[in-house]
Amino acid sequence: MLGRAHRLAPQERSVALLYAQANLQSGNAVRAAALLEPFAGTESDAMFLDTYGGRAHALGKSGACPGGAGPPYPGEKGRMTRLFDLSTYAAAGQDQKAVEILAVVKRRMFADKRQSEFAALTEALATKHLHSQAVLEFSASIYNELNRESQYFEILIKLFDVYLHSGNVAKAAESLERLVDIDAYDYRNQERLECCAAAWMKPI
């Protein structure tokens, strides 16, 4: 019945949410993901976030064809923690998906004045995925927004390495410029500058 209602009114958020919850309870987390995706970008409702986070947890525990949503996480803090089981997206190469959900959670937690908690959870995710450009860039933006200079400096170092390794010398140089602005006397700056110069001069 919910499936038929959704086919008749696919643009209705409430119908999509109910149908997604039914799919999640029956173990079809992939289908739940597809149903919620169109609404995720602007959503902040706790029930929606719980369902959306639940399917992320299911995907992480069961792979591409999950068999269940996993154990519940009690309370509001638990719901937000569930959403941070998003390392599965980064591990699967779906970095942008992880960042999209992080952006939704950020709005919710910042509105609740839980910036420090969000920064800590973001840091935990970035630490697990030091080669994920999208996750590291998101973390850098959070530290910069919160004026956490030391953490911003450390994440810029990681971004510099990722950019240089991927051949994006322009971005690496931009990261180095910010590093120099923060700490012009860091002894590693000269080494990074030499790496950038070598990459620029490397024959194509």
* pLDDT tens, residue order, the chain (204 aa): 878 887 888 888 777 778 887 887 777 777 777 787 777 666 556 566 666 655 555 554 444 333 333 333 334 444 444 554 565 666 667 777 778 878 877 888 888 898 988 888 888 888 888 888 999 999 999 999 999 999 999 999 999 999 999 999 999 999 999 999 999 999 899 999 999 888 887 755
Buried b (16+ CB within 10 A) or exposed e, 100-129: bbbebbbebbeeeebeeebbebbbebbeeb
Q: Look at residue 70 and tell me if it is in a domain.
A: yes
Predicted confidence at residue 150, as pLDDT, reads 93
Q: Look at residue 130 and tell me if it is in a domain.
A: no
Predicted confidence at residue 120, as pLDDT, reads 86
DSSP H helices, 63-132, are 75-83, 87-91, 95-111, 115-128
Predicted confidence at residue 77, as pLDDT, reads 47
Q: Look at residue 6 and tell me if it is in a domain.
A: yes
Please state, in angstroms and rounded to a whole number, the distance separating the CA atoms of residues 164 and 194: 12
Predicted confidence at residue 130, as pLDDT, reads 86
Predicted confidence at residue 34, as pLDDT, reads 78
Please state, in angstroms and rounded to a whole number, the distance separating the CA atoms of residues 146 and 22: 39
Predicted confidence at residue 48, as pLDDT, reads 65
Q: What share of the chain is helix, strand, coil (3-state, %, to 5)?
A: 75, 0, 25
Q: Look at residue 134 and tell me if it is in a domain.
A: no
Indicate the number of domains in the chain.
1
Domain region containing 78: 1-85
